[in-house]
C-alpha cells in the first residue's frame, strides 16, 4: 500500500503548528486550550492571539476550504461586527455582503438538498413544523414579511406530510398523537396558533417570526 505524505503545518510566528487549530476553530475547550492563548478560567489573551493571527492569517485564509464560514480569529479581529450567535454563520456573512459567488452557489445547492431531505424526513430541519431555515427563504423562496411563516407555507402549498397531518388534526397533534411525536409548538405566534387551531391553556405563543 503506498504511503501517504501529508503536508506539515507550518509554525505561526512564535507558536507551533498546533496553535493553528485554535485560530481556525476557536476555544477554549477540552484539548484546545493552550496557556499562551487562554488562562485557567478560559479568558483570552488577546495580545498573544492577535500576534499569532497576524503571523498566520494569510496562510490560514489561503488554505481555508469551508464555504460560508470564516476562521474563529477572523471573527475576533477582522470582521466588521462581532459574531452574532443568534444567526447562522453563513446568514451573518450574507447580511454583511461578504459571501463570494462560489459560496452563494454552494449554499444554494445545500439548501436544495436540505429541502429534499425535509420532505423525506420532516425532522431533518430540527423538528420544528411550520418553520424553515434562513437558507430556504434566502435561496429557494422569497419571504413575505406581511404573512406569518406558517401562513405563507400553507398559501404556497409547501407543507410536509407531517405538517399537513398537524393541520388536519390539531387536537391529536397537541396530545402528541400525530406521527407519535410530541411537539409543544411554543415557537409559533398567536396568529399561527389560531390559524392552525392549536389551542391549549398551557401553550404560550412565541415571538413573531
Please give the pLDDT value at position 20. Answer: 85
Count of structural domains within the chain: 2
The answer to whether residue 122 scores a pLDDT higher than 80 is no
122, burial (CB in 10 Å: exposed 0-12, middle 13-18, buried 19+): buried
Same domain, 128 and 63: no
Query: Would you say 18 and 24 are in contact if contact means Cβ atoms under 8 Å apart?
Result: no
Q: What is the pTM of this model?
A: 0.78
Residues 125 and 160 grouped into a single domain: yes
What's the whole-number average pLDDT of the chain?
84
Across 44-53, 68-77, 130-139, least confident range: 44-53
Residues 192 and 110 in one domain: yes
Q: Is residue 201 part of a domain?
A: no
Q: Which residues have a Cβ under 8 Å from the Cβ of 112 and sit 6 or more positions away?
A: 139, 140
Cell of residue 186, nine digits: 411554543
Considering 58, 84, 110, which residue would you say is the last residue of a domain?
84
Amino acid at each position: 500500500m503506498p504511503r501517504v505524505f501529508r503536508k506539515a503545518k507550518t509554525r505561526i510566528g512564535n507558536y507551533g503548528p498546533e496553535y493553528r487549530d485554535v485560530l481556525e476553530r476557536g476555544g477554549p475547550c477540552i484539548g484546545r486550550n493552550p496557556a499562551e492563548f487562554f488562562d485557567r478560567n478560559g479568558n483570552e489573551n488577546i495580545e498573544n492571539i492577535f500576534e499569532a493571527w497576524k503571523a498566520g492569517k494569510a496562510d490560514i485564509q489561503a488554505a481555508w476550504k469551508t464555504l460560508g464560514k470564516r476562521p474563529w480569529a477572523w471573527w475576533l479581529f477582522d470582521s466588521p461586527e462581532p459574531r452574532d450567535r443568534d444567526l447562522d454563520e453563513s446568514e451573518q456573512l450574507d447580511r454583511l455582503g461578504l459571501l463570494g459567488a462560489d459560496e452563494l452557489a454552494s449554499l444554494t445547492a445545500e439548501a436544495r438538498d436540505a429541502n429534499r431531505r425535509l420532505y423525506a424526513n420532516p425532522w431533518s430541519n430540527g423538528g420544528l413544523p411550520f418553520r424553515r431555515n434562513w437558507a430556504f427563504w434566502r435561496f429557494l423562496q422569497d419571504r413575505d414579511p406581511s404573512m406569518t411563516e406558517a401562513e405563507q407555507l400553507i398559501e404556497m402549498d409547501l407543507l410536509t406530510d407531517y405538517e399537513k397531518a398537524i393541520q388536519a388534526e390539531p387536537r391529536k397533534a397537541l396530545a402528541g398523537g400525530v406521527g407519535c411525536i410530541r411537539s409543544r409548538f411554543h415557537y409559533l405566534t398567536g396568529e399561527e396558533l389560531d390559524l392552525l387551531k392549536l389551542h391549549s391553556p398551557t401553550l404560550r405563543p412565541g415571538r413573531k417570526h
